[in-house]
Amino acid sequence: MKLKSIYVCTACSAQHPKWGGQCSRCGAWNTLAEDVVNVGKTETRRGGSAALPVKPAVVVGDLRLKEKRQVTGMGELDRVLGGGFMEDSLVLLAGDPGIGKSTLTLQICDKMAGLGKKVLYFSGEESVGQIASRANRLKLKNEVGLINLNDLESILATIEAERPEFVVVDSVQVMASDEIPSQAGSISQVRYVAEQLMQIAKGKKIPILLIGHVNKEGNLAGPQVLTHLVDTVLFLEGDNFHQFRLLRSTKNRFGAVDEVGVFAMESGGLKEVSNPSALFLEGRAKNPIGSCIVPILEGTRVFLVEVQALTNYTQFGYPKRTASGFDLNRLNIIIAILNRYANMKLDSTDVYVNVVGGLKLNEPAADLAVALAIASSKLKKPLPATMAALGELGLSGELRQVPQMEKRLKEAEKMGFKKTASATKFRSVQETISLIYPQSN
């Protein structure tokens, strides 16, 4: 075996013989990371081809090959996984440091142990004492085997000897194998660790949950490298200043990828949220100025979210436009539309937009709600108390239909928002505003 260093772009996986500041293939800056490859001759099989024909397994209709899943009993997780853990799958749980991956994982372990499974939790990040004290704080009751290890060979040997039925490896970035000369967290280590765990998951038919940190700099091998190796990729999202966490699958070989699980981080760990709209509307004033409710679609679920806007006279210079949880370019377009078509004089008005709860709105369906929140603040009058808004805005102010209208209206009605301003009732944003605020024109 002869080893050689190469440099791999963490964004597009292009290989380069030398390090450089920019990847010559995809043009990304600062994404090249060292990797080690074997350039020696690989041993070839002697004596010609030893390949034998293999009889194909008949899958369709063969009940013997029916999938085996382990339902965890944690509804929000089972939904995202597509009905629980497949018995031989490698699942990657990724997220920012401190978002709650280890907490969620420990709670999953407790659930699995409660179902009578033998569970092993390998942590290279925290000591057994630390994990045990967290388990105590979370008031977990069931027996989970905790092991503090960060060398892969010992982990594999332990799995071989202990024969667990559910395994957690926390995290892939701190695990290292002796077979690979680079340090833990490098692309080659991360890839090798995942490959070995994949083999043991398939060989021994054990579901393995692998934790990975997301890093923005890209100097450590991030979960991008792992995405095509593992069966399922789950992302735990949210921010440290807000309670809620969204669990989303971005890849799933055994289920749909448009499901979202909602949790709230509380003092007793992550709690499942079965009615997310109530969580996002908690603490909303009775009928506030500059506020509009929008039913957004996350996966296959609908949540009601509050959009707030504040407008102020610009004291000097250019008017300020700030958006939190909403795309700033999109906000500028909406302001331009309001200026031109809805008779709102916003060219010397500062506009601030905020999505309550730290949620990010990526859907164009939220355009009308943003426009109405701005109009409400500018005119200093609240919107009708039971009104929600839904619709994408075109550049001449026309309102467009959004997908899954019925489902969204149903959720809005359930939460007491009986009227929803949308393209079914109004043709344009100007028409909507002049009907809600007849005195504005």
Taking the least distance from each CB to Mg ion, the nearer of 69 and 213 is 213
CA distance 148 to 138: 20
Least distance CB 196 / ligand TYD (angstroms): 22
* Ranges of H-type helices in 8-100: 75-81
Taking the least distance from each CB to ligand TYD, the nearer of 103 and 432 is 103
Taking the least distance from each CB to Mg ion, the nearer of 102 and 291 is 102
Q: Are 284 and 291 in contact (CB under 8 A)?
A: yes
Subset of 315-374 contacting ligand TYD (CB under 6 A): none
Least distance CB 126 / Mg ion (angstroms): 7
Least distance CB 97 / ligand TYD (angstroms): 5
Taking the least distance from each CB to Mg ion, the nearer of 102 and 189 is 102
Binding site for Mg ion (CB under 5 A): 102
Q: Are 290 and 311 in contact (CB under 8 A)?
A: yes
Least distance CB 100 / Mg ion (angstroms): 8
Structure tokens belonging to residue 113: 């142990």
* Ranges of H-type helices in 21-69: none
Beta bridge partners of 174: none
Which x/- pattern, by CB under 6 A, does the window 264-283 give for ligand TYD? -x-xxx--------------
CA 120 to chain centre: 25
Which residues, in sequence order, are CB contacts of 120 under 8 Å at separation 6+?
144, 145, 147, 158, 159, 162, 164, 166, 167, 168
Subset of 148-187 contacting ligand TYD (CB under 6 A): none
Decide which of Mg ion, ligand TYD, none touches 79; Cβ closer than 5 to 8 Å per partner kind: none
Least distance CB 136 / ligand TYD (angstroms): 10
CA distances 397 to 263, 341, 370, 418, 428, Å, are: 37, 7, 13, 24, 5
Taking the least distance from each CB to Mg ion, the nearer of 270 and 389 is 270
Query: In the bound complex, which residue of the shown chain has the CB atom lying closest to Mg ion?
Result: 102
CA atoms within 13 A on the CB side of 130: 11
Least distance CB 266 / Mg ion (angstroms): 18
238 is an interface residue for ligand TYD by CB under 6 A: no
Taking the least distance from each CB to ligand TYD, the nearer of 32 and 99 is 99
Decide which of Mg ion, ligand TYD, none touches 245; Cβ closer than 5 to 8 Å per partner kind: none
CA distance 365 to 340: 21
101 is an interface residue for ligand TYD by CB under 6 A: yes
129 is an interface residue for ligand TYD by CB under 6 A: no
CA distances 205 to 162, 164, 199, Å, are: 14, 10, 9
Taking the least distance from each CB to Mg ion, the nearer of 239 and 363 is 239
> Which of 82, 100, 207, 212 forms a contact with ligand TYD (CB under 6 A)?
100
Least distance CB 299 / ligand TYD (angstroms): 21
Least distance CB 131 / Mg ion (angstroms): 9
Taking the least distance from each CB to Mg ion, the nearer of 267 and 315 is 267
CA distance 340 to 412: 30
Q: Are 294 and 369 in contact (CB under 8 A)?
A: yes
Structure tokens belonging to residue 233: 């990729």
Which residues, in sequence order, are CB contacts of 293 under 8 Å at separation 6+?
281, 304, 305, 306, 307, 369, 387, 388, 389, 412, 417
Taking the least distance from each CB to ligand TYD, the nearer of 118 and 134 is 134
Subset of 70-99 contacting ligand TYD (CB under 6 A): 95, 97-99
Decide which of ligand TYD, Mg ion, none touches 124; Cβ closer than 5 to 8 Å per partner kind: none
For residue 126, the one-letter residue type is: E
Taking the least distance from each CB to ligand TYD, the nearer of 272 and 363 is 272
Least distance CB 263 / ligand TYD (angstroms): 11
44 is an interface residue for ligand TYD by CB under 6 A: no
CA distance 246 to 232: 16
Interface with ligand TYD (CB under 6 A): 95, 97-103, 134, 137-138, 265, 267-269
